[in-house]
């Protein structure tokens, strides 16, 4: 069974030569690394924020290439707004049919290295700029067919600028690394940044992604554009979302009306549901529900686009992470069919029972006519459209549920 974790993902960059360069008065030793079809120079201390290059993000960059090729964009204009060493923008210029790529970073110290990397790859379709990302995007209204926002921490500060800079039917790739905030560890921080007071649930990775997508959709709607998710996933320390833009006041309003709602969660019995309105009482155990929202309650993947990406992937034989991407896409095919996974280990712990065979549980649910899938969010997770009682029956937890319900305390139970 495939699951993304630090232990089972290895990076295989090749080191070709050693050299050194200077930034202001400091000398940095550097190395040439190869990724995709490009070779770039990165400092030995490339994990420092001033000149950041993270080899573990190669999967995200490979997916960017796949998304752009699968979208069949030709002669398009792209922007890597927070470029650091320039690796993503340079790869877009080299590996896709981009006509022009703007590679930008606000740190003037890193610009010579970006320009050096452009020359190293003999690229003539790259423009290197040195501006604040928001200024760059606001200066280029409806100029880009693709924009990439990959900041340290939250992307919320750049969303409206990205909305202004993208053309109709454009695509945006957005990363968030403030996963603790989004997943419910810091609810008030999430409220401040994303407008949602989150809560730590057993499906926290999916909830965090839905909060992020909600914020993106609202930011774009302010500028009369609908944000439609194409591929969304959680991996290690970050969330990543690719989405298509469709302009129009009516479509933007309808997108929010249709896809925003609330997650009602019972921390006592682990019941959960999605609705348009706030729900007060758990229909399983009677406890008071925690309502989280508004969040994105619509599809987080575009099934047809995921299938298109799967079809295209074998032709991109230069992508080192193609096997990992293939496994990820196989999960994403089903992610939108059902919302809010169950962490089987968490459920069994709450109900005081041993963990059953996943294969047996899945077979029971499928034989009963329910949809059920494994999920990329959690190695012990299962997604199903069965309600909690039916799911517990498949786990053989029904006796425990009965005693749990009979002894319930229906006094307020809300943090």
Q: What is the pLDDT of residues 138-185, one digit of tens each?
A: 999 999 999 999 999 999 999 999 999 999 999 999 999 999 999 999
CA 270 – CA 289 distance, rounded (Å): 10
Summary count for the chain: helices (H), strands (E): 15, 16
CATH topology of domain 14-335: Rossmann fold (3.40.50)
Q: Distances in Å between the alpha carbon of 317 and those of 136, 321, 364?
A: 34, 10, 39
Domain 342-406 sits in CATH 3.30.56.70: yes
Dmax over CA atoms of the chain, in Å, equals 72
Judged against a pLDDT cut of 60, whether residue 28 lies above it is answered with: no
Cα 213 to Cα 216: distance, rounded to the nearest angstrom: 5
pTM: 0.89
**Is the pLDDT reported for residue 335 higher than 50?**
yes
Closest C-alpha to 388, from 269, 306, 295:
269
Write out the DSSP string of 268-302.
TT--EEEESS---B-TTT-PBPEEEEEEE-S-SS-
Rounded to 10 deg, the angle between the 58-70 and 303-312 helix axes is 100
How many CB atoms within 10 Å of residue 357?
A: 8
Residue 69 to residue 233: CA distance in whole angstroms:
19
> What CA–CA distance (Å, rounded) separates 11 from 62?
13
396 band by pLDDT with thresholds 50, 70 and 90: confident
With cut-offs at 50, 70 and 90, classify the pLDDT of residue 405.
low
Region 244-271: mean pLDDT is 97
**C-alpha span between 152 and 158 (Å, rounded):** 12
Residue pair 369/390 in contact by the 8 Å Cβ criterion: no
Q: Where are the domains of the chain?
A: 14-335, 342-406
Please list, in sequence order, all residues whose beta carbon lies within 8 angstroms of the beta carbon of residue 231, skipping any fewer than 6 positions away.
63, 67, 241, 242, 301, 302, 305, 306, 309, 332
User: What is the arrangement of strands in the sheet containing 38-43, beginning at the earlier edge strand?
Assistant: 14-23, 26-35, 38-43
Within 10 angstroms of residue 194's Cβ, the number of other Cβ atoms is 23
Q: Specify whether the CB–CB gap between 243 and 149 falls below 8 A.
A: no
């Amino acid at each position: 069974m495939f699951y993304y974790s630090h232990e089972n993902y290895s990076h295989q960059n090749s080191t070709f030569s050693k050299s050194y360069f200077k930034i202001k008065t400091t000398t940095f030793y550097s190395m040439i690394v190869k990724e995709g079809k490009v070779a770039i120079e990165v400092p030995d201390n490339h994990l420092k924020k001033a000149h950041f290059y993270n080899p573990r993000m190669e999967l995200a960059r490979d997916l960017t290439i796949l998304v752009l090729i699968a979208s069949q964009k030709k002669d398009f204009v792209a922007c890597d707004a927070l470029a650091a060493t320039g690796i993503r923008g340079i790869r877009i210029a080299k590996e896709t049919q981009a006509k022009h790529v703007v590679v930008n970073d606000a740190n003037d110290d890193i610009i010579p290295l970006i320009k050096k990397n452009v020359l190293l790859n003999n690229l003539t379709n790259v423009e290197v700029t040195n501006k604040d990302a928001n200024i760059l995007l606001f200066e280029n209204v409806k100029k880009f067919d693709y924009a990439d926002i990959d900041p340290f921490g939250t992307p919320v500060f750049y969303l409206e600028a990205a909305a202004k800079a993208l053309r109709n039917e454009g695509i945006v790739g957005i990363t968030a690394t403030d996963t603790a905030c989004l997943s419910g560890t810091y609810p008030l921080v999430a409220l401040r940044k994303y407008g949602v007071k989150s809560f730590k649930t057993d499906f926290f990775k999916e909830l965090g992604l839905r909060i992020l997508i909600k914020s993106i959709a609202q930011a774009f709607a302010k500028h009369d554009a609908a944000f439609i998710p194409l591929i969304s996933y959680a991996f290690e320390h970050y969330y990543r979302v690719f989405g298509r833009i469709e302009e129009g006041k009516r479509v933007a309003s309808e997108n929010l009306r249709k896809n925003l709602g609330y997650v009602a969660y019972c921390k006592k019995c682990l019941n959960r549901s999605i609705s348009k309105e706030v729900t007060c009482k758990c229909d399983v155990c009677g406890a008071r529900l925690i309502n989280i929202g508004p969040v994105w309650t619509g599809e987080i993947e575009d099934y047809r686009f995921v299938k298109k990406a799967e079809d295209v992937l074998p032709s991109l034989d230069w992508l080192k992470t193609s096997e990992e991407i293939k496994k990820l896409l196989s999960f994403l095919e089903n992610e939108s069919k059902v919302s809010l996974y169950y962490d089987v280990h968490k459920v069994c712990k709450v109900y005081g029972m041993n963990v059953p065979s996943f294969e047996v549980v899945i077979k029971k649910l499928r034989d009963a006519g329910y949809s059920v899938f494994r999920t990329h969010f959690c190695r012990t997770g299962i997604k199903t459209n069965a309600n909690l009682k039916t799911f517990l029956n498949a786990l053989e937890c029904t006796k425990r549920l009965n005693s749990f319900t009979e002894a319930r305390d229906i006094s307020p139970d809300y943090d």
